[in-house]
């Protein structure tokens, strides 16, 4: 009987320790608006030979969250987080990005936070390493809400930057 009590106490201790570790390991991705931005850019970056967790996006984007992305000559298309993951996964397979990689890099971020809402303007660069094509330079506007003690992505709108449409200087002042 004494051994069962010791075993129960030991198992309880292990369970409690795991619970404490799980709480301590709460992803940093949810703690600030900037960490949500970084998590999205990390999600969109493809490291050659590294397996991607495609469902991870649902940990960052609110259920009804939406991305308005530039689709070449089509203009803008609205998609949700799951559709973004599906498109990215398809592109990785279609263009062999699992071998070459895809770099989605933040150049500059400006955050405006008020209460439980935040907007981040993100100047970014996207490219396929080793490609002769120039990188895509753009500006994203991330909208977020703080719910249940953490930040959630609500929407992202993207615009491509070029010589005729530079980023307004006022955004990053």
List of the chain residues with pLDDT < 70: 1-27, 71-74
CB 164 within 8 A of CB 96: no
In this prediction, residue 76 carries a pLDDT of 79
What is the reported pTM?
A: 0.78
Residue 17's pLDDT is 30
Helical pair 81-95 and 33-44, crossing angle rounded to 10 deg: 30
pLDDT in tens, 6-18: 433 333 333 333 3
The predicted structure's pLDDT at residue 55 = 83
Domains of the chain: 28-172 (3.10.450.50)
* Selection from 172, 123, 153, 155 nearest residue 35 by Cα: 153
């Amino acid at each position: 009987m004494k051994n069962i009590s010791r075993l129960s106490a030991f198992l309880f201790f292990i369970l409690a320790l795991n619970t404490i570790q799980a709480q301590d390991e709460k992803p940093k991705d949810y703690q600030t608006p900037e960490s949500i931005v970084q998590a999205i850019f990390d999600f969109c970056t493809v490291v050659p030979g590294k397996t991607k967790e495609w469902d991870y996006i649902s940990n960052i984007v609110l259920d009804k969250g939406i991305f308005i992305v530039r689709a070449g000559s089509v203009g803008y298309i609205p998609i949700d987080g799951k559709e973004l993951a599906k498109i990215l996964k398809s592109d990785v397979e279609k263009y062999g990005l699992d071998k070459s990689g895809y770099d989605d890099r933040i150049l500059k971020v400006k955050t405006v936070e008020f209460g439980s809402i935040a907007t981040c303007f993100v100047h970014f660069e996207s490219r396929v390493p080793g490609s002769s094509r120039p990188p895509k330079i753009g500006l994203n506007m991330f909208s977020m809400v703080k719910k249940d003690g953490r930040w959630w992505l609500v929407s992202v709108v993207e615009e491509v930057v070029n010589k005729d449409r530079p980023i307004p200087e006022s955004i990053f002042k």
